[in-house]
């Protein structure tokens, strides 16, 4: 500024309503928010001239993402600017809730998948923030209840090799009626690649033949997601598989 003073940082309550993380979460859904925006909701307030979003971004940067925040002890978190005992407790409680939810799935508590948003809520905490691609598989029973959630493969920054036969073998092992493939794009962009489309079509065909239906393939990005089912591609691939050769 011309007088050399520090530019004013407005609190989140002073932002336009459509830009506030809490209001956006309620209006658009949890999957539309970045890690920093979600963390800002947990923090509730900023500190020392920072908004809660500014503070969340600083934490994610200084501690190398959500995994680093989870690994940091209370003393390490308390060292971060503006993070005292109360905010440390809020962060640790939120991360623990996410960890317990995943533990419930692994121990046999079966959430039901009714939409791609349910897939994002289940898998985004596992995949967002990774610097490499990873593919997860969700196996479901006939009522679309989650039977198992497994890591299928982990790859480099640009690819994660997937074998259709391995997927089918795992589905048979769980006696699954259906499955959902989920993977992240570390670039943050969610548009499917040609390889993503080819794999989805191949897996849809295999599922139709073996009666282990692929319900969706969801790509997780930083802010949003892409659902093959929501875009009508799963049904399109099924129609192709039924055409006489």
Which domains are present in the chain? 12-105 (1.10.150), 110-242 (3.40.140.10)
Q: Name 145's bridge partners.
A: 112
The H or E element that residue 138 is part of is strand 134-140
- pTM beyond 0.75: the answer is no
Q: Are 121 and 101 in contact (CB under 8 A)?
A: no
Question: What does the pLDDT look like over 111-166, one tens digit per residue?
Answer: 889 999 999 988 888 787 777 888 899 999 999 999 888 888 887 545 666 778 88
Greater confidence (191 vs 30) lies with 191
What is the spatial distance between Cα 60 and Cα 215, in angstroms, rounded to a whole number?
Answer: 34
Strand order across the 225-227 sheet? 146-154, 134-140, 178-184, 213-220, 225-227
The larger pLDDT score, comparing residue 135 to residue 16, is at: 135
Taking the C-alpha atoms of residue 122 and residue 93, their distance in angstroms, rounded to an integer, is: 18
User: Is the model more confident about 218 or about 48?
Assistant: 218
């Amino acid at each position: 500024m011309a007088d050399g003073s520090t530019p004013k940082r407005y609190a989140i309550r002073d932002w336009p309503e459509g830009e506030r993380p809490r209001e956006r979460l309620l209006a658009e859904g949890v999957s539309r928010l970045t890690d920093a925006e979600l963390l800002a909701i947990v923090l509730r307030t900023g500190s020392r001239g920072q908004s809660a979003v500014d503070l969340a971004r600083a934490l994610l940067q200084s501690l190398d993402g959500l995994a680093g925040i989870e690994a940091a002890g209370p003393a390490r978190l308390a060292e971060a600017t503006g993070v005292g005992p109360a905010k440390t407790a809020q962060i640790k409680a939120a991360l623990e809730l996410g960890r317990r939810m995943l533990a419930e799935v692994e121990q046999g508590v079966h959430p039901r998948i009714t939409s791609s948003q349910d897939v994002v809520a289940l898998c985004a905490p596992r995949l967002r923030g990774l610097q490499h691609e990873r593919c997860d598989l969700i196996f479901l029973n006939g009522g679309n209840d989650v039977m198992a959630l497994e890591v299928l493969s982990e790859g480099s920054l640009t690819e994660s090799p997937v074998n259709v036969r391995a997927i089918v073998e795992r589905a048979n092992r769980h006696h699954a009626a259906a499955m959902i493939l989920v993977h992240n794009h570390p670039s943050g962009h969610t548009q499917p690649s040609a390889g993503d489309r080819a794999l989805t079509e191949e897996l849809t065909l295999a599922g139709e033949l073996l009666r282990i239906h692929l319900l969706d393939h969801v790509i997780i990005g930083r802010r949003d997601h892409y659902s093959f089912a929501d875009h009508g591609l799963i049904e399109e691939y099924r129609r192709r598989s039924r055409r006489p050769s």
